[in-house]
């Protein structure tokens, strides 16, 4: 949400998929003034439609042994932005098919 608040294009949207503290993230989105650009998606068995509607995939994790969502996103042709601690980060060539960030 911090990064989204820096993007000056109002047409850029963010899907947040999965379970989590939606109230907390909703309040954070309000604080960052990006709530109208975020779509919260509760647990969905059909993530493929969100991959198809996306231009990039971001998984900002501090611990992820091996997230299949990274593999799914890559299989959908999306570049991936994630941290170096993600297990699937080994599949990403930094600057080629994604970006690897410090955790």
Residues 49-91: pLDDT tens digits?
A: 999 999 999 988 877 777 788 899 999 999 999 988 878 888 8
Please state whether beta strands 14-17 and 38-41 pair in parallel, antiparallel, or not at all (unpaired).
Answer: parallel
- Give Dmax (Cα) for the chain: 36
51 phi and psi, to 5 degrees? -60, -45
How far, CA to CA in Å, does 66 sit from each of 1, 7, 22, 61? 24, 29, 24, 11
The answer to whether residues 64 and 27 belong to one domain is: no
The answer to whether residues 65 and 95 belong to one domain is: yes
Compute the average pLDDT of residues 22-40: 93
Report the pLDDT value the prediction gives residue 4, as an integer from 0 to 100. Answer: 93
Compute the average pLDDT of residues 24-29: 93
Please name the residue ranges forming H helices in 1-103.
2-6, 22-31, 48-52, 68-75
Residue 103 has pLDDT above 80, yes or no: no
Residue 45 has pLDDT above 80, yes or no: no
* pLDDT confidence bin for 100, thresholds 50/70/90: very high
Residue 66 lies in a domain: yes
* pLDDT confidence bin for 31, thresholds 50/70/90: very high
Separation between Cα atoms, residue 54 and residue 31, nearest integer Å: 24
The answer to whether residues 61 and 40 belong to one domain is: no
Q: Which domain holds residue 6?
A: 1-44
Q: What is the number of structural domains in the chain?
A: 2
């Amino acid at each position: 949400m911090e990064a989204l608040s820096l993007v000056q294009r109002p047409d850029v949207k963010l899907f947040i998929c999965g379970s989590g503290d939606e109230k907390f993230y909703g309040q954070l989105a309000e604080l960052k003034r990006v709530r109208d650009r975020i779509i919260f998606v509760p647990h969905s068995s059909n993530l493929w439609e969100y991959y198809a509607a996306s231009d990039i995939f971001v998984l900002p994790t501090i611990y992820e042994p091996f997230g299949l969502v990274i593999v799914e996103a890559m299989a959908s042709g999306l570049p991936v932005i994630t941290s170096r601690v993600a297990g699937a980060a080994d599949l990403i060539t930094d600057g080629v098919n994604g970006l690897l960030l410090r955790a």
